[in-house]
Amino acid sequence: MKRNIPLILAFVSGLIVIFSEFIPHRPFSSIVDSLQEWFMIISGFAMLLGVMSLLRMNAAKVSTRSPDWQYHLIGIISFGLMVLMGALWGMEEQAGILGQGASISAWLGKKPFDYTYTHVFVPLSATLFSLLAFFIASAAYRAFIIRTLESNLLMIAAVIVILGRTGFGTMLTGWLPESYRFWHLPNLADYIMQYPNTAAQRAIMISAALGVIGSGLRIILGIERSYLGGDK
Amino acid sequence: MPDLMNTIGIWLAAFFTFCIFSFLYRDNPFYKLAEQIFVGLSAGYGLIYVVYSTMVPNLFAKLSQDFSGNLILLIPFALGLMMLTRIYPKTQWISRYPISIVIGTSAAISVMRSLKTDLLLQVGATIINPFQGSTASEISGNLLVIIGTLCGVYFFYFSKKQEGLAKIPSKIGVYFLMVSFGATFGYTVMARISLLIGRLEFLRKDWLHIIN
């Protein structure tokens, strides 16, 4: 009962979606529209579940006074503030519980949620990702130190693409005559992106698609059941 | 007042930028503070975004405008609430019902999308006349696309051990994959460096007004 009904539900919902691709008429088309709407609503609750799980984990660290618990408390507070601002005054054109928050928006220049997003969230996220520019260099050094044909190909392609996308790369090969324009670094970078890269990406996409089709059918047919969890 | 708040916002952004950059020296309280604030804000932003973009238009707005006409929506609402039972181990099994619908639907959508866009379209795009190009580089490129795709797909065929002559196309496939990974790596480096330049430009332009 606890395992069979979910398996039947997955089978039926999966089968309806697949049928609707081949029979795009009522009732399949309308059922699939409803099913996709349901999917979005349930996914929204899944997001809520994820947030609840995160809060629970952080709250446990705060309550047990584990190392650096103060930072986890700050994380919970910043989450609460963001949710509160979004719920009370809304975001962008969306109104919150207290409406559009015209007075507070006039004071801040924009809604509190959007203000926090622009002045705190965006700088934090951009700086965190830009930090990877430093670590990617040391990672590259470790990768390229291995002397094999494969690692050399990887390094040469990376260097050509990096140089080909900068003014420095253009300057390096700019002196080459027009008859050798294929060897200009920007053209070489374009060639790598257009042909060998396309070929490899296409091979990955085709192989991954075969894998996705196989595992999708396994789930729909009930062969793959790991998403049901344990036997409790 | 908005000008003053904008200035405070720029100082806040500069402070958090330095907090994150301080990690380049070593892990420190400023970085930990900024990291946890980022985690909290990300979760809060994600939740509010989902509520306003998905939950309100698809569920709450419809139910509040015409409750009796949208009674069917109470089913996904109930299933969504059942999803939340996963948080407690004793009631975890209840969440299997909504999860199975989500998994079944998303598996079928993925199967059909992969079949159409990733498999059939890509195979179709590879079946070309390599000599239709007007220049030598186009012809060689077309040949590379065909050989690279075939050898790359062959490399991912794990059902039979690849040895002897059968190993050659697999090896060629690896070379193509390495070139592609190198190109992707180069692109990632450029994207990260452009983000870094963006942050440095913010500090020099918006915060310190050194450059125009």
B133-161 pLDDT per residue, tens: 888 999 999 999 999 999 999 999 888 88
Is A49 an 8 Å CB contact of chain B? yes
First-to-last alpha carbon distance for chain A, in angstroms, is 12
Whether B5 and A87 lie within 8 Å, measured CB to CB: no
Q: How far is B24 from chain A (nearest CA, A)?
A: 8
Q: What is the pLDDT of residue B133?
A: 80
Whether the pLDDT of residue A136 is over 80: the answer is: yes
> Which of B76, B87, B100 comes nearest A56 by C-beta?
B87
Q: What is the pLDDT of residue A202?
A: 96
| Separation between Cα atoms, residue B196 and residue B188, nearest integer Å | 12
Is A180 an 8 Å CB contact of chain B? no
Residue B57 domain-assigned?
no
Is A31 an 8 Å CB contact of chain B? no
> Which of A129, A154, A166 comes nearest B192 by C-beta?
A129
Q: Which of A19, A34, A119 to mutate against chain B (most B CBs within 10 Å)?
A: A119
Query: Which residues have CB under 8 Å from A36's CB, separation 6+?
Result: B105, B109
Average pLDDT for chain B: 92
Whether B80 and A44 lie within 8 Å, measured CB to CB: yes
Q: How far is A4 from chain B (nearest CA, A)?
A: 10
Whether B183 and A15 lie within 8 Å, measured CB to CB: no
Per-residue pLDDT reduced to its tens digit, A138-167: 887 887 777 789 988 999 999 999 999 888
ipTM: 0.85
Per-residue pLDDT reduced to its tens digit, B57-110: 999 999 999 888 889 999 999 999 999 998 888 888 899 999 999 899 999 999
B175-212 CB burial, b ≥16 within 10 A, e <16: bbbbbbbbbbbbbebbebbebbeebeebbeeeeeeeee
Q: At what angle do helices A28-63 and A69-89 cross, to 10 degrees?
A: 140
* Maximum separation of any 2 CA atoms in chain B, in Å: 76
Q: Which residues on B lie below 8 Å from A193 (Cβ)?
A: 183
Is A42 an 8 Å CB contact of chain B? yes
Give the mean model confidence (pLDDT) for residues A15-43.
86
Boundaries of domain holding B192: 132-212
Q: What is the pLDDT of residue A121?
A: 96
Whether the pLDDT of residue A232 is over 70: the answer is: no
Total domains in the fold of chain B: 1
| Separation between Cα atoms, residue B168 and residue B159, nearest integer Å | 17
> Which of A18, A42, A229 comes nearest B101 by C-beta?
A42
Residue B163 domain-assigned?
yes
Using CA coordinates, name the residue in chain B closest to A46: B83
Q: At what angle do helices A122-144 and B2-21 cross, to 10 degrees?
A: 20
Residue B73 domain-assigned?
no
Q: Which amino acid is at B44?
A: G
Average pLDDT for chain A: 90
Q: How far is B60 from chain A (nearest CA, A)?
A: 10
* Radius of gyration for the alpha carbons in chain A, expressed in angstroms and rounded: 27
Using CA coordinates, name the residue in chain B closest to A114: B45
Residue B188 domain-assigned?
yes
Is A66 an 8 Å CB contact of chain B? no
Whether A79 and B151 lie within 8 Å, measured CB to CB: no
Q: What is the pLDDT of residue A231?
A: 55
| Confidence category of residue A230, pLDDT binned at 50, 70, 90 | low
> How many A×B Cβ pairs under 8 Å?
410
Per-residue pLDDT reduced to its tens digit, B147-197: 999 999 999 988 888 888 889 999 999 999 999 999 999 988 888 899 999
Whether A2 and B96 lie within 8 Å, measured CB to CB: yes
| Separation between Cα atoms, residue A116 and residue A92, nearest integer Å | 12
Q: What is the pLDDT of residue B169?
A: 94
Q: What is the pLDDT of residue B88?
A: 86
Q: How far is A202 from chain B (nearest CA, A)?
A: 6
Is A209 an 8 Å CB contact of chain B? yes
